[in-house]
Homo-oligomer: A and B are copies of this chain.
């Protein structure tokens, strides 16, 4: 109810504040008998980790995951998988200046309005640090899914957008650069752009695109829990996300039906894929693809005015260790959330078999 659980059959519950002793989570419903590659899980965490490159926050966290249960002799047992990621580099004093103030476009004000109090250190629970737990669960989900391939990449940084559809990109190049854009030329430009933005103490938004391949037809539930509705919720639940579109997306709203309809081939595949692999909320076996819009990070390394709890105007100076652009680190988070959604429907679909 309180929003820290995700998924029905493959269920993740997370906890943890940015500057508490640890983050952690419980995965309930992981099928038994899966030989987990623990190194691969840590690899995914490393893709999200702060300090991994010059264009992300320089907070230093090893983000090492420890498993407490649900795995026996390297194999999942079907019982819940409890895990913990210790916080090692909390610098709480960094945040004492925001104790009584509300930073613009952060969750400081809304948490206080909702709960009457908040852990103000580093954004507390509202920090994107929470997504580390999602990456752990997503990495396990990917291993449940095996042949279903989920690939996210950066397709826009600020006004700098990659206009090619995913079919024209070499998705194996995503990890070849620190921006995580598969067009290496564009990646270089984006990297320079991000550095420039950071040098001004500013931040910039971006878009992460994602492709899911080898999804069998039949995943998703019609009506309220449509496959793309759950994907949308999953993506919108990621910090800083402002929009989601799949298949033809917002552009599709400008099209004629005669152009938009995906004609069938005789094997059930379609000649075009404006549907984005989903029809009536259920996968049709074609590639699923979608875009996720991220706003610019709210923390600027600039002086600014804001208000405190009493409504008095206060001057503040952004400091600390923050990302000038969130999308490079958001790539594994988008993949993780996609993996959670697909796994949930994959398991649910077994009931129909």
Interface string of A247-267 (1 = CB under 8 A from B): 111101111111011111111
CB distance from A108 to the nearest CB of B (A): 8
A284 to B130, CA, bound (A): 22
| Cβ contacts A to B, 15 pairs, < 8 Å | A2-B28, A2-B29, A15-B70, A16-B80, A24-B68, A32-B116, A72-B119, A104-B264, A110-B220, A110-B284, A159-B254, A226-B236, A257-B299, A261-B298, A267-B311
Q: Does A222 contact B (CB under 8 A)?
A: yes
Contacts of A111 in B (CB 8 A): 222, 280, 282
**Closest beta carbon of chain B to A336's beta carbon, Å:** 12
Contact, CB under 8 Å: A16 / B82: yes
Return the contact of A347 from the options B22, B270, B351 (Cβ within 8 A): B351
Query: A97–B219 Cα gap in the complex (Å)?
Result: 27
Q: A250-B293, A255-B204 are in contact. Are A279 and B110 (CB under 8 A)?
A: yes
Chain B residue, CB-CB nearest to A20: B69
By a CB distance below 8 angstroms, the chain B residues around A246 are 242-243
The answer to whether A266 touches B311 (Cβ under 8 A) is yes
In whole angstroms, how far apart are the Cα atoms of A337 and B270 in the complex? 31
Taken together as a complex, chains A and B put the C-alpha atoms of A114 and B285 apart, in Å, by: 11
Contacts of A81 in B (CB 8 A): 15
User: Which residues of B have CB within 8 Å of A203?
Assistant: 256-258
What's the Cα separation between A31 and B239 when bound, in Å? Answer: 23
State how many residues of chain A have any CB contact under 8 Å with chain B. 148
Interface string of A268-285 (1 = CB under 8 A from B): 101000111011111111
Verify B242–A252 contact, CB threshold 8 A. yes
B80 touches A15 (CB 8 A): yes
Besides the contacts A5-B224, A33-B115, what 15 more A-B pairs have beta carbons closer than 8 Å?
A: A4-B26, A17-B79, A33-B117, A72-B124, A77-B124, A114-B217, A126-B222, A158-B255, A226-B237, A232-B236, A237-B281, A242-B252, A245-B250, A266-B313, A274-B295
